[in-house]
Structure 1
Amino acid sequence: MIKSSNGDTPFSLTYRTEAVIPAEIRMPTFRTAEVNVDENDEALEINLDLIEEKREQAAIREVKSKRQMEKYYNTKVRNTSFKPGDLVYRSNEASRVEDTGKLGPKWEGPYEVTEALGKGSYKLKDRDGRELPRTWNVCNLKKCYIHKM
């Protein structure tokens, strides 16, 4: 099967030629009936000479395909960042508190962001002013939309 990412079959990239399946060998087809051995040998030698170029083209097509997938994925990603002073909730799952069951709260807080450390990590403090002991990643936080009192 031809791979959509590089446009070639894995067999042709590995063995430098196209495969003839057993069904084609047993039944006479145009491809097997009209084979000239001398021309076939010359074509195989040409394939050997051009294999590096063929592999490079496949690698270029594969990189292009990966870029397209990355672009499609990144269009759906929302960047979230917080500034010091913002109120956030933190995930119960990330804070490793006791399991409250299926109907328990999924988020706890609100907490205030005291420092943005970069690359999505933040230091938090609770409403009483005590700083939490570790940093928290942005994927475990969500914005709290209540006003400060």
Structure 2
Amino acid sequence: MPFSLSYGTEAMIPTEIRVPSPRILMINDNDKELWINLDLLEEMRDLALIREYNYKCQLQKYYDSRVQKCTFDAGDFVFHNNEAYSQERPGKLAPTWEDPYKVKEVLSKGAYKLEKLDGTEIPELGMWHIARLTVNYLFLACAPID
């Protein structure tokens, strides 16, 4: 399929050249067939693009049905993944999630600005993507209700 999309004809294997096949026997009409294949090349490419788009839509639909969407609001308590900025791995038994933090500001497209629980900003961390954050259920359960 990729060969025909690039060159406008199907590839021939050496065995097909040695053993007479209808394709080889019609060698005189081959030029005419090649021109017909070239005329249909754009249509083949369009059909391949449509199939690719349909496949990607099916993948996205499957992914969206399996993934739980999670968003945070300002004031939510979260853990952040400490593997994102540490230079050396502390070991496989080290905790993956680090310190409870509070979401200070919701930025665009899944980015969040965090602060420590006492309200001080964290300049070295900057923004955090939602993939690096998880809900802190312990603090959520212990937090006073306003």
TM-score of the pair, normalised by structure 1: 0.76
Match of 1:3 in 2: none
Match of 1:5 in 2: none
Between the aligned residues of both structures, percent identity stands at 48
CA RMSD of aligned residues (A): 2.4
Per-residue Cα deviation, 1:79-132 (whole angstroms, up to 9, x for no partner):
211111211111121253875432222212211112212211222222222222
Match of 2:122 in 1: 132
TM-score of the pair, normalised by structure 2: 0.77
Matches within 5 A, 1:17-28: 17-28=9-20
Match of 1:48 in 2: 38
> Shift in Å at residue 58 of structure 1?
2.1
- Residues 125/11 of structure 1: CA separation in 2 closer, same or farther (3 Å cut): closer
Distance 2:30 2:91 in 1: 70
Distance 1:41 1:92 in 2: 64
Distance 1:52 1:99 in 2: 52
Out of 86, 90, 103, the position equivalent to 2:76 is 86
Gaps of 5+ in 1: 1-8
Distance 1:98 1:40 in 2: 63
Per-residue Cα deviation, 1:44-89 (whole angstroms, up to 9, x for no partner):
2222222222222222222222222233333333221111121111
Match of 2:4 in 1: 12
Match of 1:148 in 2: 143
- Residues 100/25 of structure 1: CA separation in 2 closer, same or farther (3 Å cut): closer
* Paired residues, number: 139
Gaps of 5+ in 2: none
- Residues 74/83 of structure 1: CA separation in 2 closer, same or farther (3 Å cut): same
Match of 2:127, as an amino acid? T
Distance 1:98 1:39 in 2: 67
